[in-house]
Structure 1
Amino acid sequence: MTVRPFAIDVPQPVLDDLRDRLARTRFLDDSARRPASGMTSAYLRELVASWQTFDWRAREAWLNEHPQLLADVDGTTLHIAHQRSTTPGAPALLVMHGWPHTFALQLDLADLLPDFDVVVVSLPGFAFSPPLDEPITEQRLAELMHTLMTDVLGYSTYLSYGEDLTANVSDLVAATHPEAVVGLVVTHAHFLPQDERDATTDPTERAFYDRMAADWYQQAGYAHLQGTRPDTLAAGLNDSPAGLLAWLTEKLVEWSETPDGDPAAVEKRISRERILTEATLYWATQSIATSFGSYFDGGDAEIPPVEVPTAVFVQKHEHDNPESVARRFYRDLRVFERLPEGGHFAVGEVPDAMAQRVRTFARELGLVP
């Protein structure tokens, strides 16, 4: 298993073609009686105009300020940003993204933790990590992440954090490798399996799962398409940068903390520069199709209770996630806090607050002074 340095260098013809396509975008007006969503015609026009003049080379230079590697791990290759601390004996922190964001949205957190060795990984099929030639299951991802941290990068112990589709992966790594995971940081706390949700008689638990089920119906169209017609959807998104931008940004808007309902309010948490960085990475790597892999490979892993020290910071979109479930699942729960700010993309939306909490938790574990 080897690692080699990597730097991002998007070919100029790719950028020229992107700008040409953006200039020829055929916009539609909003539909009459359209359902509410995280995208409007007006906001998309703003974003497309900004993307046409976006200084990718400046952003690319910023990305490349973060040391990056391609690591050969158990038959595949993973792209990682690996920020090593100058502090001797600094603890290692594994940071994993979900969909639709990439590693880039989590680099601000890494920058705020110079007293940690931070490993921000691109999942298989995202950005510069090639897709797996097998199902991208939670079990497979968990083993890849653990092998990366221990056998490839040489850490005997590490902290773990995952968001969205890697929340379960992070839990699974901690549950199956307690000898290595010295602490677990959580913003997407464990959900009961469906049969236990149906059977619970606790009123707080019942109310939370009923609310999540009701809300999910209005938001689940993307997941159904990505899980049942991934290639058909990707054919359009891979060919139309405006379509790709709308598809990605809608979810950044809907899942971030944007309380006033204006799609552009997402930029209070995730700047336009960062939104366009995400879109450019997808476009330049043509990875939208492969990013859908976990949706059609499907199925949640059975995860045993986690025994390692855990800090749960409940993000705003799951503000009513019951503490009772967390205490049953995370058997050594050291912190349970409901975040006052920050939604689904917590470390991307409120990196300062999350960096402070990660450091405080690590200090309580004796990992940092």
Structure 2
Amino acid sequence: MPRPTADVHPYEPRATDAELDDLRARLAAARLPEAETVRGAAPGPGRWGQGVPLADLVRVVDHWRTDYDWRSFEDRLHRIGQFRTVIDGLGIHFLHRRSARADATPLVLTHGWPGSVAEFVDVVDELADPADAAAPAFHVVVPSLPGFGHSDRPATTGWGTEKIAAAWVELMGRLGHRRFLAHGGDWGGNITTVLGGRFPAHVLGVHTTFAEAPPGLTTDGLTAAERGWAEETRDFWHHRAAYAKQQATRPQTIGYALVDSPVGLLAWILDKFAEWSDTEDSPFETISLDRVLDNVTLYWLTRTGASAARLYHESHNSLDPGLRVDVPSAVTMYPRDIEKCPRPWAQERYRRIVRWNAPAEGGHFPSLEVPGYFVEDLRQGLAAVLAARR
């Protein structure tokens, strides 16, 4: 396996004690609003109808201030392997876990918002060196999107999904991975689509949980279930996407609160983990409280609340309507995700769907909600992609 070029450097950032003390002090001094006026509602979506309930936020803030251990997560990232490289003048941070297997295939995993590399820390080792010798293995690369985590914050416009996809090709090449597989959901799914459509000479195939159909397709010919998917997606964008419109139009304005207030940042992100997860009430029914706090603390310590929000300003509704993906593609539609694309629509963009899966459980964050299932589904999807190339 080729080794990384000299442009790639090991990177082990550590927050200072003063930064962690400042975080705890800000949490202790937080000014909170009164409780929501639906207070006392029974557990379920109605309890969250006005956003994060006060009692839930107080519990999470107290845990964050008194019991949460950032150093443990820092050490976890260091064990996986962290690196940085500069592409088009911007520093890009990434995790790189090489497999011990000689038959391993390079794989780039791309996160979205409000996620980070924290989405994949629980699945990297099993993907790289599976316990089952018969399972496929991968050299896993997990970049932080520009403006997220320990990647640099862009100082100019232009870092949209098209440019990010091109940067991933350059990144993988520097690691010795001229040809590779790609997976993503949310913005990572959009970038994965661009990778498959624009760079077929480098991308062996894609797996996505966020297939995006070309615009303007009719519901004629769809099954009742598929029409239901289309209606749920339409309802989401009409009634539950204020966060996206805010970040697409005025990211700087919301950014002040996200960078200055850890409680404001937590509430903004926790609201999405709650609404987009396959749970009846709290996201912590399936997702570790500490893993959510790993994700939020990474945003806080790197001061990337505003810069991450700007990705919406750069790329919202920007996917080329004419882009087609001709490399083999595997698609998984989790039932509680915020967008679910009917297969006939997906096939208008992804021309070689070799595996289609619609599991019974899971939401927008499957690598955190159902990590065991996620790994197995990803393996099967990518195995089908590789088999289609033989």
Specify if TM > 0.5.
yes
Unaligned runs of 5+ in 1: none
Q: 1:64: Cα distance to partner?
A: 1.5
1:244 partnered with 2:257: no
- 1:185/1:358 contact within 8 Å kept: yes
Equivalent-residue separation in structure 1 for 2:163 and 2:93 (angstroms): 16
What does 1:250-265 align with in structure 2 at a 5 Å threshold?
Answer: 250-258=271-279, 260=280, 262-263=281-282
Q: 1:329: Cα distance to partner?
A: 2.3
What does 1:57-136 align with in structure 2 at a 5 Å threshold?
Answer: 57-113=71-127, 114=129, 115-132=137-154, 133-136=156-159
Coordinate RMSD, CA, aligned = 2.0
How big is each residue's C-alpha offset from its partner over 1:26-61, in whole Å with a ceiling of 9 and x where there is no partner? Answer: 222323258715511011001000001211112221
Q: 2:343 aligns with which of 309, 323, 338?
A: 323
Letter in 2 for 1:3: V
Q: 1:320: Cα distance to partner?
A: 5.6
- 1:160/1:184 contact within 8 Å kept: yes
Letter in 1 for 2:157: E
Equivalent-residue separation in structure 2 for 1:65 and 1:207 (angstroms): 44
Q: 1:167 to 1:363 in 2, by over 3 A?
A: closer
Q: 1:349 aligns with which of 369, 379, 382?
A: 369
Equivalent-residue separation in structure 2 for 1:327 and 1:233 (angstroms): 37
Equivalent-residue separation in structure 2 for 1:320 and 1:123 (angstroms): 23
Equivalent-residue separation in structure 2 for 1:37 and 1:88 (angstroms): 52
Match of 1:312 in 2: 331
Q: 1:220: Cα distance to partner?
A: 1.3
Match of 1:145 in 2: 168
SS at match of 2:330: strand
SS at match of 1:334: strand
Equivalent-residue separation in structure 2 for 1:232 and 1:295 (angstroms): 13
1:2 partnered with 2:7: yes
1:269 partnered with 2:286: yes
Equivalent-residue separation in structure 2 for 1:192 and 1:206 (angstroms): 16
Equivalent-residue separation in structure 2 for 1:329 and 1:224 (angstroms): 25
Q: 1:341: Cα distance to partner?
A: 1.8
Q: 1:217: Cα distance to partner?
A: 2.6
Q: 1:39 to 1:60 in 2, by over 3 A?
A: same
Of 61-70 and 202-211, more deviation after overlay is shown by: 202-211
Equivalent-residue separation in structure 2 for 1:165 and 1:58 (angstroms): 27
Q: 2:28 aligns with which of 3, 10, 23?
A: 23
Letter in 2 for 1:247: W
SS at match of 2:212: coil
Match of 2:37 in 1: 32
Equivalent-residue separation in structure 1 for 2:149 and 2:340 (angstroms): 33
Q: 1:228 to 1:329 in 2, by over 3 A?
A: closer
- 1:38/1:254 contact within 8 Å kept: no
Q: TM-score, normalised by structure 1?
A: 0.91
Of 63-72 and 309-318, more deviation after overlay is shown by: 309-318
Q: 1:82: Cα distance to partner?
A: 0.2
- 1:103/1:121 contact within 8 Å kept: yes
SS at match of 1:71: strand
Match of 1:301 in 2: 319
Letter in 2 for 1:296: H
Q: 1:75: Cα distance to partner?
A: 2.5
Q: 1:189: Cα distance to partner?
A: 1.6
- 1:135/1:293 contact within 8 Å kept: no
Equivalent-residue separation in structure 2 for 1:234 and 1:190 (angstroms): 28
SS at match of 1:69: strand
**Percent of aligned pairs sharing the same letter:** 34
Q: 1:230 aligns with which of 251, 263, 287?
A: 251
Match of 2:357 in 1: 337
Q: 1:203: Cα distance to partner?
A: 4.3
Letter in 2 for 1:244: L
Equivalent-residue separation in structure 2 for 1:361 and 1:99 (angstroms): 23
Q: 1:200: Cα distance to partner?
A: 4.7
1:282 partnered with 2:287: no
Q: 1:320 to 1:84 in 2, by over 3 A?
A: closer
Q: Which runs of 4+ in 1 moved over 6 A?
A: none
Of 314-323 and 242-251, more deviation after overlay is shown by: 314-323
1:44 partnered with 2:57: yes
Q: TM-score, normalised by structure 2?
A: 0.86
Unaligned runs of 5+ in 2: 1-5, 40-47, 130-136
SS at match of 2:271: helix
- 2:195/2:203 contact within 8 Å kept: yes
Instruction: State the number of aligned residues.
Output: 359
